[in-house]
Amino acid sequence: MLDTSEVIDQAMHGDRHATHSLFLGVYEDLRKLAAARMAGESPGNTLSPTALLHESFLKLGTDIQWNNPAHVYRAAALAMRHILVDAARRKRATINGGDLARQDFPSDYSMPENQTVGLADLGEALEQLQQINADAATVVDLRYFVGLKWAEIAQRLDVSVDKAKSLWSYSQAKLSCLLREPR
C-alpha cells in the first residue's frame, strides 16, 4: 500500500501523472487480489484477473478525487463487484440463455445448508445493504470480492479488526435476510 501523501495530494489536485503513479503503486497488489477472487469463479468465465482489474480502473476513470490509498482499494473493490455482478446479470438474461449459474458463498459465511446464491442476487442484496450500512457493504466487497484479510480490511476502513469482523457478522445476517426476501 502506498504511503506517499504527496502523490495523493497531487492526484487530488488533478495531476494525471500523480493519479497514474497512484494506480501503479497499488496495481500489483490489486491484480493479485483480483486473481484470488477470480479463482473462485466458474470455469466458463472469460474474464481474466488482469482484465477485471483493468476494466475496474476504466470504470473508475481519472476524474475521481482520491483521499488516500485505502480509497483506491475501496473504489477498486466496488468497481470489481459491479463488473462481476453485471457479467452475472448478462449471463442470466433470457437473451443469453436464461439459467443463472449459482455460486456458493465462502465457507465462513453462514447460509442455510445446501443453499447457493447467484452473483446477480448477491449484487442486488449488496446494493440494498449499501443503502442500510455502507461500511458493512464495503467489508463484504473487500473480503468477498477482493479477498482481503481482516487486518487489511481494518486498515483500509480505518477501524479495528474487531470492528471489521463485527461489520462482517452484521452483513452476514442482513444479507441472509435480504436474500431470503422474495424478488
**pLDDT in single tens digits along all 183 residues of the chain:** 444 567 767 766 777 777 677 777 777 777 877 777 777 666 666 677 878 877 887 777 666 666 666 777 788 788 888 888 887 777 766 554 455 455 555 555 444 444 466 777 888 888 999 999 999 999 998 888 888 889 989 988 889 999 999 999 999 889 888 888 765
**pTM more than 0.85:** no
Place of cell 470455469: 43
pLDDT of residue 2: 44
Helix (H, G, I), strand (E, B) or coil at 103: strand
Integer Cα distance of 80 and 106 in angstroms = 17
Integer Cα distance of 33 and 53 in angstroms = 9
pLDDT of residue 99: 53
- Amino acid sitting at position 105: F
Long-range CB contacts (< 8 A, 24+ apart) of 121-127?
121/179, 121/183, 122/85, 122/175, 122/179, 123/81, 123/82, 123/84, 123/85, 123/86, 123/88, 123/89, 124/183, 125/175, 125/178, 125/179, 126/81, 126/85, 126/175
Radius of gyration of the chain (CA): 17
- Amino acid sitting at position 79: A
- Kindly report, residue by residue over 37-67, the tens digit of the pLDDT: 777 666 666 677 878 877 887 777 666 666 6
